[in-house]
Structure formats: C-alpha cells, structure tokens
Amino acid sequence: MEKDAGPPSAEKRRICWNARDNYLQCIQDHTLPEEQEKNCAKLKEEFDNSCPKAWVKHFIRQKAWQDYKKEVYKKRDEEK
C-alpha cells in the first residue's frame, strides 16, 4: 500500500478486505504454524501489500482477540 496516499478508495478497501479474508481463512484452515508458513505465505504478502499497515495490525489483533474469546467461552462451557 502506498504511503501517505490519503484514505483508501472504495475499490482499495474492497481489495484489502478480500485479501484479509483470504489470508484469515487460510490460517484458520491450517492451524499448525508450519502449515501456515507453507500454505499462507503468498496470501500474507498479498494482505500486507493490499492494506495500510495500521489496518493489517488492527485486523491481526482483532483476530487474536476473537480467538481468545472463543477459547474462554469454550472453557467456560466445558466447566458447566
């Protein structure tokens, strides 16, 4: 993504979101880190190049938070 290019256009946002969705789906499908590196590297590069860096950081943190919440709820439900 270009630096200081102003806010992304609707088309660039769509491209970013598609790249994000493709990458996150890949890491969900390949849960082992070795598999993610092997199978998702190209999608990660596309994601990094299609989105502003701040967005990439936000989306990755958002995914980690969602995964954490799933685990907490799963453990809570198992204890019932």
At residue 79, the pLDDT reads: 82
Which string of DSSP letters, residue by residue, matches the chain? --TT--SPPHHHHHHHHHHHHHHHHHHHH--SHHHHHHHHHHHHHHHHHHS-HHHHHHHHHHHHHHHHHHHHHHHHHHH-
| CA torsion angle 24 25 29 31 (round to 10) | 10
* pLDDT level of residue 5 (50, 70, 90 thresholds): low
Find the range with the poorest average confidence among 4-8, 10-14, 31-35. Answer: 4-8
Question: pLDDT tens digit string along 43-72?
Answer: 999 999 999 999 999 999 999 999 999 999
pLDDT above 60 (res 3):
no
For residues 48 and 56, the answer to whether their CB atoms sit within 8 Å is yes
Question: pLDDT tens digit string along 10-29?
Answer: 999 999 999 999 999 999 99
